[in-house]
A and B are shown apart, each in its own frame.
Chain A
């Protein structure tokens, strides 16, 4: 009922859009690009100003903007962080189209300009819970092995917790790792890690923009409970040909980009590969040099501008990890994505994007031992069709669209050769269809109040064919039948309201509030804290209900000293329903009846996030602090009481400082402190089967020791020539060489076997790195 009211209200708003009846309104539209490379600038601000009026809008994901206002003389300004502001006198006496090229500021100018131009965006916009990663900061934040990485840098933001030391897995506002929707050019990246999590699948050379939505999720996004990490690839330089790359300790990268037809078509190809195994190959020992351990990935994108109204983008990603031990074992896994997009500008106010997306994640494990040989493969793949429309008016940006995604999960296929102990096995495929329609409105009511509200109607259907079993709470089959191909086995439909509002107290202070509901139908069953290559994916079904979260958040946003300082404080509370865990001793791999092993429960998460950023001056950087709690409750676990989730950490503090010492030297440091993870320690011990065994009482009631780490780096720019730029980055990870806890094990003491001791394993001590980057 409530939802119906909401919808009626929503459509009424549409009917009575005031400006439909207003007179003499004209529209200014166009595309904002980097003048040097032709890359579109996402979120660049366009403003029109005269004595009577000031209004502005941000460019959309494709650099397109549209502004409507009363006819007259205006000063048009276009600004974007890191670029020189563009100013022009215009007379809006009819619909106008102006495409703008912004000149990048050099590093010193940037310091002066960046802040001024994004003036109070963070304060004014209704969007909250959004973290935008500045790709330039990424170059300077010190990281493990010197491999700059968007996922590791995003972990330094408030409300985002690292999945473990050096790990790219992350948790947002108490959500699980599988509750993050990770998009690369709109394609879902199911497993975003390389080398068991120490590197992410995102090669930062190829990336233009990274946004993380922790809350206040806009209606165009859905399908995961906790966050959306929206990563966009570069389009490729449409002005001139260029090569850049880097040589590091672990991996090297190269990127080639350039125009195919100047200002009309361009391409970008970026590739990366590790070479640990090349070092192994250098060994003369055949048992070492025939092992494999590597990953590589390739990002590629081509775009073609037919005319000002139509642009086609093709983009793709392919990545693969390989691990192998001679004659024993081989494991490979990777993601493949492909996105075809067509931008069409219907008119100066209506912008459309149509996307067709393919993505796949697969893994294969091969046991090479003759007696026990087997090859186990598993995959999840999606076909996804999306239509997204944006309609720009004076006070509103309406956004509406529809999506349909077809999923296929092939849980496990086992094949063997010769005389293996292991039998061939194929767990039947599961098919699913996700559909969604959404409408939203970004509404500037007046100078003070801005709203972003909408609704997403989402549905999920489990499709046949397949053997459909229903289990009772004990995991026993109560019903079983064979569903026909294409039949709808089970369908869930949800309305997901999304709402956020900002109220500006004055130019530099605002308060914001948001509420959003999200649902999720693809779930990962995992033992580990973060993603592992052999994660098992399951869909919602007759047994598994969609996960649901409701989040409310409030925040206070402040800018000071002409945007030199940006401050925000947000609090949130999240209710989670239909959370999934599994019984003790559950067998997850290659189990057709895996749904019989599951437990369902609920969760809650709440916290406070503080963020202070200094955006200009010689010293820039930020401090982020999170105070949080996240708990789960399952009938079959911990006596039915709430217990801390594995990722529950009370305090998380990150400090990042970047000091531009001179035009050649940049120094940077980051420091992180976090409370230890929630773990279950034994409450006693006893003997069973001749072994000392531990007795456990409350789940996750104990804490690992805290983590504290300082990383530093220095970047030296070599003297530039017209043709060639290069720089050296030197880094020290864990500069204080603190032994941070990675795991705690209990065992009989080696000195005195009658005693038990707790042993802490640490991964990384101090690790130096050096990287050489070049561009020509």
Chain B
């Protein structure tokens, strides 16, 4: 719903005033590199992955240094313990195991004399039914958008995150939702995708893959905050801040135990 409000504002902007964009130089303060931990435990029987890297100054290339030599373990609330091995620099993997809905997973990372910890509860799985195409006509032009269909269970509070890949390239928009307005319904969620984000529209023949994750409340807050950070200034939205991480010691990133399901779709 929020997305549609956003859409309308875009529309007005587009229709009345042809705004213009230019790349500018800005003076930025550079903070020291920060620890970034990305932990995922899925409900698939697979090697689970924890990545540890560092932030870099804004002016650098998008190459994020791997943090090597960390001691990484994950435990659950029924006494299991998995030790993660550094298979590639900064990438720590476990032996294959499957996360179970309802269990609480705890992450422990020991690196550079700090112990980072975080917990996440794996929610119940909600089945991704299908994907469908939605065509909007905008100023005489057809704009294709993808919708994801699922049946939200009425009995619990659900949060979702979707990761969309077009021709195997992940889109730059964060898709996140909850059932605040849709509890218990057959939901058709629009994954609003615009040319602004990825310099590319959705075209006939595109192979789209959508992964649906059921996430806990803290992880929802993380992605939701991230999704709100767009522009800066009087014309911009929210004052940006770091999304609230569920990992302590001011680490950036998250530790998410979530269910996952992937569906592919070829755009007609």
Which residues from chain A sit less than 8 Å from chain B, CB to CB?
163-165, 167, 195-196, 198, 276, 285, 287-288, 291, 293, 323, 325-329, 331, 365, 367, 369, 371-372, 374, 376, 414, 419-423, 425, 527-530, 534, 584-585, 587, 589-591, 637, 646, 676-677, 679-702, 704-705, 739, 741-746, 748-750, 753-765
Given A293-B12, A587-B180, CB of A696 within 8 Å of CB of B240: yes
Kindly state whether residue B252 has any CB partner on chain A within 8 Å: yes
Kindly state whether residue B82 has any CB partner on chain A within 8 Å: no
Complexed CA–CA distance, A423 and B186 (Å): 11
Contacts A/B (CB < 8 Å), 23 sampled: A164-B234, A167-B234, A276-B16, A293-B15, A329-B8, A374-B181, A414-B181, A422-B1, A422-B182, A589-B2, A637-B241, A676-B233, A680-B240, A682-B28, A683-B28, A685-B58, A686-B53, A687-B36, A691-B172, A695-B55, A746-B58, A748-B172, A760-B23
Given A646-B239, A688-B254, A759-B23, CB of A325 within 8 Å of CB of B11: yes
A365 neighbours in B (Cβ, 8 Å) = 5
By the criterion CB–CB under 8 Å, are B237 and A762 in contact? no
Given A684-B57, A755-B61, A758-B24, CB of A288 within 8 Å of CB of B140: yes
By the criterion CB–CB under 8 Å, are A527 and B4 in contact? no
By the criterion CB–CB under 8 Å, are A753 and B2 in contact? no
By the criterion CB–CB under 8 Å, are B184 and A423 in contact? yes
Given A585-B244, A739-B22, CB of A374 within 8 Å of CB of B234: no
Residue in A closest to B36 when the chains form the complex, CB atoms: A686
Q: How far is the CB of B260 from chain A (nearest CB, A)?
A: 13
B240 neighbours in A (Cβ, 8 Å) = 680, 682, 694, 696
Q: Pick the contact of B225: A369, A530, A584, A679 (CB < 8 A).
A: A584
Contact string, B184-210, partner A, CB cutoff 8 A, digits 1/0?
Answer: 111111100000000100000000000
By the criterion CB–CB under 8 Å, are A590 and B62 in contact? no
Contact string, B228-266, partner A, CB cutoff 8 A, digits 1/0?
Answer: 111111111111111110000000111000000000000
By the criterion CB–CB under 8 Å, are B226 and A693 in contact? yes
Kindly state whether residue B136 has any CB partner on chain A within 8 Å: yes
Kindly state whether residue B9 has any CB partner on chain A within 8 Å: yes
By the criterion CB–CB under 8 Å, are A684 and B22 in contact? no
A198 neighbours in B (Cβ, 8 Å) = 16
Given A688-B38, A691-B174, A697-B31, CB of A762 within 8 Å of CB of B186: no
By the criterion CB–CB under 8 Å, are A687 and B53 in contact? yes
By the criterion CB–CB under 8 Å, are A743 and B140 in contact? no
Given A584-B244, A689-B223, A743-B232, CB of A760 within 8 Å of CB of B186: no
Residue in B closest to A758 when the chains form the complex, CB atoms: B26
Q: What 8 pairs across the A-B complex have the smallest Cβ distances?
A: A164-B234, A743-B235, A683-B31, A686-B55, A371-B188, A287-B137, A585-B225, A742-B235
A590 neighbours in B (Cβ, 8 Å) = 180-181
A702 neighbours in B (Cβ, 8 Å) = 26-29
Kindly state whether residue B88 has any CB partner on chain A within 8 Å: no
B253 neighbours in A (Cβ, 8 Å) = 686, 688
Contact string, B136-171, partner A, CB cutoff 8 A, digits 1/0?
Answer: 111110000001000000000000000100000010
Which residues from chain B sit less than 8 Å from chain A, CB to CB?
1-2, 4-5, 7-9, 11-12, 15-17, 19-31, 33-34, 36, 38, 53-64, 134, 136-140, 147, 163, 170, 172, 174, 180-190, 199, 221, 223-226, 228-244, 252-254
Residue in A closest to B150 when the chains form the complex, CB atoms: A421
* Max chain B C-beta neighbours (<10 A), residue from A686, A699, A749: A686
Q: Pick the contact of B187: A421, A584, A701 (CB < 8 A).
A: A421
Given A683-B29, A699-B241, CB of A690 within 8 Å of CB of B170: yes
Residue in B closest to A679 when the chains form the complex, CB atoms: B232
* Max chain A C-beta neighbours (<10 A), residue from B137, B140, B223: B137
By the criterion CB–CB under 8 Å, are A584 and B185 in contact? no
* Max chain A C-beta neighbours (<10 A), residue from B29, B225, B236, B242: B236
A699 neighbours in B (Cβ, 8 Å) = 239, 241
Q: Pick the contact of A759: B7, B24, B224 (CB < 8 A).
A: B24
Q: Pick the contact of A689: B38, B230, B238 (CB < 8 A).
A: B38
Q: How far is the CB of A143 from chain B (nearest CB, A)?
A: 15
By the criterion CB–CB under 8 Å, are B225 and A760 in contact? no
B25 neighbours in A (Cβ, 8 Å) = 758
By the criterion CB–CB under 8 Å, are B229 and A694 in contact? yes
Given A683-B30, A686-B252, CB of A744 within 8 Å of CB of B232: yes
By the criterion CB–CB under 8 Å, are A367 and B1 in contact? yes
Given A684-B31, A689-B163, A754-B61, CB of A328 within 8 Å of CB of B136: yes
Extra pairs beyond A369-B134, A685-B55, A755-B61 (11, CB < 8 Å)? A530-B234, A591-B180, A680-B241, A684-B58, A687-B62, A743-B233, A743-B234, A744-B26, A759-B22, A761-B20, A763-B17
Q: How far is the CB of B131 from chain A (nearest CB, A)?
A: 13
B56 neighbours in A (Cβ, 8 Å) = 684-686
Q: Pick the contact of A163: B163, B234, B242 (CB < 8 A).
A: B234
Q: How far is the CB of A767 from chain B (nearest CB, A)?
A: 9
B243 neighbours in A (Cβ, 8 Å) = 584-585
A421 neighbours in B (Cβ, 8 Å) = 181-182, 185-189
Residue in A closest to B149 when the chains form the complex, CB atoms: A371
By the criterion CB–CB under 8 Å, are B224 and A585 in contact? yes
By the criterion CB–CB under 8 Å, are B34 and A329 in contact? no
A329 neighbours in B (Cβ, 8 Å) = 4, 7-8
B27 neighbours in A (Cβ, 8 Å) = 702
A425 neighbours in B (Cβ, 8 Å) = 181
A693 neighbours in B (Cβ, 8 Å) = 226
B2 neighbours in A (Cβ, 8 Å) = 589
A756 neighbours in B (Cβ, 8 Å) = 58-59, 62
* Max chain A C-beta neighbours (<10 A), residue from B185, B186, B239: B239
By the criterion CB–CB under 8 Å, are B236 and A744 in contact? yes
Q: How far is the CB of A593 from chain B (nearest CB, A)?
A: 11
A760 neighbours in B (Cβ, 8 Å) = 21-24
Q: How far is the CB of B156 from chain A (nearest CB, A)?
A: 15
By the criterion CB–CB under 8 Å, are B235 and A371 in contact? no
Q: How far is the CB of B262 from chain A (nearest CB, A)?
A: 14
By the criterion CB–CB under 8 Å, are A696 and B241 in contact? yes
By the criterion CB–CB under 8 Å, are B58 and A374 in contact? no
A323 neighbours in B (Cβ, 8 Å) = 8, 11-12
B28 neighbours in A (Cβ, 8 Å) = 681-683, 702
By the criterion CB–CB under 8 Å, are A757 and B23 in contact? yes
By the criterion CB–CB under 8 Å, are A527 and B237 in contact? yes
Complexed CA–CA distance, A704 and B53 (Å): 31
Residue in A closest to B239 when the chains form the complex, CB atoms: A680
By the criterion CB–CB under 8 Å, are A423 and B185 in contact? yes
Residue in A closest to B226 when the chains form the complex, CB atoms: A693
A167 neighbours in B (Cβ, 8 Å) = 234
Q: Pick the contact of B1: A327, A374, A637, A754 (CB < 8 A).
A: A374
By the criterion CB–CB under 8 Å, are B12 and A371 in contact? no
Given A331-B8, A739-B22, CB of A684 within 8 Å of CB of B33: yes
A687 neighbours in B (Cβ, 8 Å) = 36, 38, 53, 62, 64
